[in-house]
Structure 1
Amino acid sequence: MGYVVLLDQDLPTGTTHSKLFEKLGAGNNSVAHFQLIYSSPDVRTFAVVPGAVVQVQTSPGANVTAKTTVETAGEQFTYRRTTTANDTGTATIRVAYPGKYTVGSETVTVAREAVYEGATVSVSSEDDGT
């Protein structure tokens, strides 16, 4: 695992730097391998993690969002990732934080080990999130 240290800079919106520094890597078009571990007004540090893969079966072409509330490094924010299901109805969403995620009307718990090992966690109607 490596680390990325970012300084507050005036860079164009949409750059990887701005997605991490300003949005804490939490936006739909963010990068899913960075986990915030330190935050100040001028410096943010992220650990580079494999990220867990949340997998769900749905309708082909459906948009699927996984979201959770993250509290880390003195920050609290909604971490949200969205993808589109493939032709067979499988949607896979890589997430950088452990926690209980809402995926549509379902919930799934992503363990810390899954994030650090790059493991797949499946959402099913039987999953009660524990």
Structure 2
Amino acid sequence: MNNMFPSRRDFRDLRRQFFDDTFDQVLGEAGNFKTDIIEDDNEYTVEAELPGMDKENIELDYHDNILSISGKQESETNEEDKERNYIRRERSSRSFSRQFLIRDVDEDNISARFENGILKVKLPKKESDKPENKRIDIQ
């Protein structure tokens, strides 16, 4: 009986099939993109999948221990059929933004590269300014 009523997912899938929004197909749901954060002894590496994006549309910022990745994608579709007097013109604009807390980074030596739809950010580690936790004996 439960499957007699459409779920929210069913309506989302129907919307995608009906409108065929190519940008949703490229980035998935707007605002979400696959990201891996890898840590080794010397640095953190952030790898973000941004297929279909241009490097010029991506903004990268590191401030107060927060790495921010954001971007904007605009597209326009024009179709015309003079025989049937049919004209279709659509425009869409999507933006995304994600932030990651990454501490103890040497801000002056951060580097980034965008290649084949993958943004790779290298964040070298620096010595931590804060002291280690100290155990306190209870009397």
TM-score (norm 1): 0.32
Relative to total residues, which structure has the larger helix share, 1 or 2?
Answer: 2
